[in-house]
A and B are shown apart, each in its own frame.
Chain A
Amino acid sequence: NAGVTQTPKFQVLKTGQSMTLQCAQDMNHEYMSWYRQDPGMGLRLIHYSVGAGITDQGEVPNGYNVSRSTTEDFPLRLLSAAPSQTSVYFCASTARGEAFFGQGTRLTVV
Chain B
Amino acid sequence: GNSVTQMEGPVTLSEEAFLTINCTYTATGYPSLFWYVQYPGEGLQLLLKATKADDKGSNKGFEATYRKETTSFHLEKGSVQVSDSAVYFCALSRTGTASKLTFGTGTRLQVTL
With contacts A48-B99, A94-B99, A97-B51 taken as known, whether A41 is within 8 angstroms of B45 at the C-beta atoms is: no
A contact residues, total (Cβ < 8 Å): 25
CA separation between A94 and B93, bound complex, in Å?
12
Most chain A Cβ neighbours within 10 Å, of B45, B91, B101: B101
Q: Does A71 contact B (CB under 8 A)?
A: no
Q: What interface size band does chain B fall in? A: 20 to 34
| Cα distance, A96 to B51, chains bound together (Å) | 11
Q: Assuming A42-B89, A102-B43, A103-B42, is B32 touching A97 (CB within 8 A)?
A: yes
User: Is residue B97 within 8 Å, beta carbon to beta carbon, of the partner chain?
Assistant: yes
Interchain CB contact under 8 A, B105 and A103: no
Taking a contact as CB atoms under 8 Å apart, the answer to whether A99 and B98 are in contact is yes
- What's the minimum C-beta distance from B98 to chain A, rounded to whole angstroms? 5
Bound-state CA distance A96–B97 (Å) is 6
Question: Which residues 42-93 of B sit at the A interface, judged by CB distance below 8 A?
Answer: 42-46, 49, 51, 89, 91, 93
Chain A residues, CB < 8 A from B93: 97
Q: Which residues of B contact A42 (CB under 8 A)?
A: 4, 89, 103-106
Quote the shortest CB–CB distance from A19 to chain B (angstroms): 20
- Chain B residues closer than 8 Å to A50, beta-carbon distance: 99
Residues A22-68 near B (CB distance < 8 A): 31-33, 35, 40-45, 48, 50, 58
How far apart sit A27 and B88, CA to CA, in the bound complex (Å)? 25
Query: Which residues in A have their C-beta under 8 angstroms from that of B102?
Result: 45
B10 / chain A contacts, CB cutoff of 8 Å: none
A31 touches B104 (CB 8 A): no
**Chain B interface (Cβ within 8 Å of chain A)?**
4, 32, 36, 41-46, 49, 51, 89, 91, 93, 96-106
Sorted from nearest, which 7 A-B pairs have the closest CB atoms?
A101-B43, A31-B99, A42-B103, A43-B103, A101-B44, A42-B105, A99-B98
5 contacts between A and B (CB under 8 A): A31-B99, A33-B99, A45-B101, A97-B32, A99-B44
Beyond A32-B99, A44-B103, A97-B32, 13 extra complex contacts between A and B, CB < 8 Å: A31-B99, A42-B4, A42-B105, A43-B44, A50-B99, A92-B44, A94-B98, A94-B99, A98-B98, A100-B46, A101-B45, A102-B43, A103-B43
